[in-house]
Amino acid sequence: MKAIGITIFLIFIVGIEFLLDKSRREKIEEEINFIGGNVINIERRNLFTGRGPFFIEGKGETVYKIEYVVDGVLKEGWVKFAGLFGVDWRL
Residues 3 and 61: their CA atoms lie apart, in Å, by: 30
Residues 47 and 58: their CA atoms lie apart, in Å, by: 11
Q: Who wins on pLDDT, 53 or 12?
A: 12
Find out whether 47 and 58 touch, Cβ atoms under 8 Å: no
Task: Give the pLDDT confidence of 36-85 residue by residue, as tens digits.
Answer: 999 999 999 877 777 788 776 667 788 999 999 999 999 999 999 886 77
Q: If you average pLDDT over residues 20-26, what whole number do you get?
A: 93
